[in-house]
């Protein structure tokens, strides 16, 4: 009987068969964002990538903003994304464990994807240990304590009572408003922020403070910033921002011993290490 390494195992990774041993990470697809034609192209590219990792993936972690907007009513979910959702379902059926940490754009993911696909939704950043390597995983937003307006908005969005009232709005109205708001915001502020440097990026600052309490964390893996970077913050610790699938088409992969940030080339369909 073939033996396969399982995440969290204390047994040597190399003693197991190499099939289905890799853990993949991606974030910030923003499916459904304006313009829709480009969003569909990005969805097709991501589905192509999912098919390519299907043979060796044991887990897939989606670290937020998979959708540009998502709200689940009790009987209605947003239309579209059929190819993407179908591919996730196929991966799940193959035995790939899929995890999702909602971001600030898809915070209203509830239980539909869990019931239909079997993926696991995590509401907060969390820790995972794979092959004795400690990870902290999260979307990467809200780490800056001084951003009071952002934190206030997130508190409003996550309030169960306000969610109930919002669900009373007809889906046609709420969807149209959300798409208008997102389009307006991007026309005003753009999609990509500027890289602030290792000393100013909030995710890096947060990691350095967190390491004072828990110096054993080796990898902080986040999304949200749309800018791929891999910054060392200690002798054995790194902060990885996964980038996005809008302009960068980047993702992370852990093979049991090493984490790599990679880019999926749009034209050739090939992969390069950043």
Question: What structural domains does the chain harbor?
Answer: 19-273 (3.60.21.10)
Does 58 have pLDDT greater than 90? Answer: yes
What is the chain's mean pLDDT, rounded? 86
pLDDT at 187: 53
Cβ 248 vs Cβ 27: under 8 Å: no
- Residue 221 three-state SS: strand
- What span, in angstroms and rounded, lies between the C-alpha atoms of 37 and 80? 12
pLDDT at 122: 97
Confidence grade of residue 194 (pLDDT, cut at 50, 70, 90): confident
Q: Which residue has the higher pLDDT, 111 or 154?
A: 111
Does 164 have pLDDT greater than 60? Answer: yes
CA neighbor of 130 nearest in space, from 13, 3, 262:
13
Q: Measure Cα distances from 136 to 124, 166, 177, 206 in Å.
A: 11, 32, 34, 12
Given phi > 0 = left and psi -120 to 50 = alpha, else beta, which region is 77? beta
CA angle 68, 127, 199 (to 5 degrees): 70
């Amino acid at each position: 009987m073939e033996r396969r390494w399982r995440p969290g195992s204390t047994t040597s990774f190399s003693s197991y068969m190499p099939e289905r041993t890799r853990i993949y990470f991606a974030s910030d697809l923003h499916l459904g964002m304006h313009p829709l034609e480009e969003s569909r192209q990005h969805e097709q590219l991501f589905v192509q990538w999912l098919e390519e990792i299907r043979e060796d993936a044991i887990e897939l972690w989606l670290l937020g903003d998979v959708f540009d907007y998502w709200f689940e009513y009790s009987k209605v979910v947003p239309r579209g994304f059929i190819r993407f959702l179908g591919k996730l379902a196929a991966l799940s059926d193959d035995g790939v464990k899929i995890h999702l940490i909602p971001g600030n754009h898809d915070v209203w993911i509830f239980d539909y994807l869990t019931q239909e696909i079997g993926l696991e939704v995590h509401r907060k950043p969390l820790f995972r240990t794979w092959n004795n390597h400690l990870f902290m995983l999260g979307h990467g937003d809200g780490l800056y304590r001084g951003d009071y307006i952002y934190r206030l908005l997130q508190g409003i969005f996550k309030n169960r009572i306000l969610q109930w009232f919002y669900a009373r709005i007809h889906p046609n109205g709420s969807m149209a408003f959300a798409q208008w708001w997102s389009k307006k915001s991007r026309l005003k502020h753009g999609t990509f922020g500027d890289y602030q440097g290792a000393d100013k990026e909030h995710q890096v600052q947060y990691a350095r403070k967190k390491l004072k309490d828990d110096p054993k964390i080796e990898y902080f893996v986040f999304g949200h910033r749309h800018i791929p970077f891999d910054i060392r913050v200690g002798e054995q610790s790194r902060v990885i921002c996964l980038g996005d699938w809008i302009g960068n088409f980047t993702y992370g992969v852990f093979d049991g011993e090493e984490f790599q940030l990679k880019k999926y080339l749009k034209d050739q369909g090939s992969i390069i290490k950043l």
